[in-house]
Chains A and B, each alone.
Chain A
């Protein structure tokens, strides 16, 4: 019991990652509203950022800027990767929202079941 608690306390960032991942995926699957789906998708992507950034932190390390006074640095690579992933995520969400706006103009709603009832099951 104590051991499990200790494991949880020292790895809590991974549990948060898993929680975000599952919560985001659940929202995407369970909600019919297109905006809410995008929120879920965004949450899902956010969990990936956390997954990558967690191991980048090195205990006692400073920012990865070259300076003779410091020997231990945080790993800069995950940050670079996640900056790229964030850009991709922003682009995806922006495109998804743009589509939702266009769908709202074409159908007058962003609820999936109402859209299907207007056009027949597509």
Chain B
């Protein structure tokens, strides 16, 4: 038997790819679901094994594709940051799989279900590939693999608006990816390399680089990836895409897709260009902080006035991305720790919230507030979990959301800005309004005709939901998984190439 241990990095990407091929051949909904389940439940083990390997080694793991040496061939690199993201994305993909079977079976035409899982696994392979690759162009290819499959996942929503939402996302997403590749192209013209580490090494070498094209490259990559991660005001594709996509696609994308774009941006900003170039030469930090604060407030206000629960949570996602980018814009230890803790915490909470709405949609076929009235009394467990995740989103002490916002506030203090601390707290108060609205509609009103006939969600939907709700509480007390790792990541990013 050959030793698979050194090959774990490639298996992380190839297993979902092979799984997607298998589902494309099978063409039977339930069987494809089973294949997808097995594949997605294998991946977290590989991710955790990689994480432990990195922790034990204390240095990044490299994997040479085709055994070609570093700047010439494509190399995969796993360090603390990428191992953390691998665990997060593969974990999120695994947890929601039990939910998928009934949700997909009820929302997707039977002859398309198998293709749907194919697209899901392709998207997953693309996201994991972006995280693990150390090659700028390879990252673009994986970005497009995941994006193209995402457009399909969204377009298969039941309402015809899903088509328009998917089309708009396709236009915006392609512009974003193309801007990214223009930036990479400028970097390639300058340095003659596509390997992230190699570019960074060449940029920090004694050679004198012309500054203008370098800054232009940074600007192109920054704007392109900001489109992908839905940084305010480049977020307009996100609410519709999340709102009209099938429940399962929303659940998956809300937890993973934008986070991976954030990861890529951080990687390029901190490791390739370096803190000095990124933050001293261009006002990246100021831009990020201003836009983040705008996102926290404007998107939250938009959420308050929504009458579609899924759209409301989508706007809330834009606001929460604002917290993450705020932490990155602060670029100090506490801020970055908070940002990455929030990447994990937000993934847990938002996935739980969309799971609960997906379960409600499965029972009553709508997520409009007028139909959700009083549904809490009919589906107490589902909506109870929703309330817990919602409380976490507000940042109440004792939940995961509090931890990350605490560190963000610490980061703002470290940067010497009381104003930012105040803004973080104030924007959290807006989230109290929209989460409160959700809770009020679901629990305090008399059941609507649709809700009156609803039953508790099936067990396969309840289990992942309750698991994530429990995680929301657990991560509010045990911070080893989020803050400690976030701290390591912050040290890595700030202590790295300057």
Chain A positions near chain B (C-beta within 8 angstroms) = 21, 25, 28, 34, 37, 41, 44-45, 48, 51-52, 55, 81, 84-85, 88, 91-92, 95-96, 99-100, 102-103, 106-107, 115, 119, 122
The answer on a CB contact under 8 Å between A91 and B148 is: yes
The answer on a CB contact under 8 Å between B141 and A92 is: no
- Interface readout for B147-161 with A: 1 if CB under 8 Å, 0 if not? 010011001000011
Residue from B141, B155, B170 within 8 A of A102 (CB atoms): B155
A-B contact pairs, 7 of them (CB 8 A): A41-B174, A48-B181, A92-B170, A95-B148, A95-B151, A99-B151, A106-B160
Bound complex: CA of A50 vs CA of B140, how far in Å?
17
Binds A, one of B182-190, B313-321, B455-463: B182-190
The answer on a CB contact under 8 Å between B175 and A85 is: no
Bound complex: CA of A103 vs CA of B166, how far in Å?
10
The answer on a CB contact under 8 Å between A41 and B175 is: yes
Report A50 CB to chain B, min CB distance, Å. Answer: 10
Contacts of A37 in B (CB 8 A): 171
Residue from A45, A95, A106, A122 within 8 A of B178 (CB atoms): A45
Contacts of A81 in B (CB 8 A): 137, 194
The answer on a CB contact under 8 Å between B141 and A96 is: no
Contacts of B178 in A (CB 8 A): 44-45, 48
Q: Give how many A-B residue pairs fall within 8 Å (CB-CB).
A: 71
B residues contacting the other copy or chain, number (CB 8 A): 27
Report B63 CB to chain A, min CB distance, Å. Answer: 20
Whether B163 sits at the interface, judged by CB under 8 Å, is yes
The answer on a CB contact under 8 Å between B185 and A88 is: no
Bound complex: CA of A91 vs CA of B122, how far in Å?
14
Bound complex: CA of A41 vs CA of B141, how far in Å?
17
Contacts of B175 in A (CB 8 A): 25, 28, 41, 44
Whether B118 sits at the interface, judged by CB under 8 Å, is no
Contacts of B185 in A (CB 8 A): 48, 51-52
Bound complex: CA of A51 vs CA of B216, how far in Å?
14
Give me the 10 closest cross-chain CB pairs, A-B, nearest first. A106-B160, A88-B144, A99-B167, A103-B163, A51-B185, A102-B163, A96-B170, A122-B161, A92-B174, A52-B185
Chain B positions near chain A (C-beta within 8 angstroms) = 137, 140-141, 144, 148, 151-152, 155, 160-161, 163-167, 170-171, 174-175, 178, 181-182, 185, 188-189, 194, 240
The answer on a CB contact under 8 Å between B182 and A99 is: no
Bound complex: CA of A30 vs CA of B81, how far in Å?
40
Contacts of A103 in B (CB 8 A): 160, 163-164, 167
Given the contacts A51-B185, A95-B151, A100-B167, A45 and B174 also touching, CB distance less than 8 Å? yes
Contacts of A95 in B (CB 8 A): 148, 151-152, 170
Report B265 CB to chain A, min CB distance, Å. Answer: 19
Bound complex: CA of A106 vs CA of B137, how far in Å?
37
Given the contacts A48-B178, A84-B141, A99-B170, A122 and B148 also touching, CB distance less than 8 Å? no
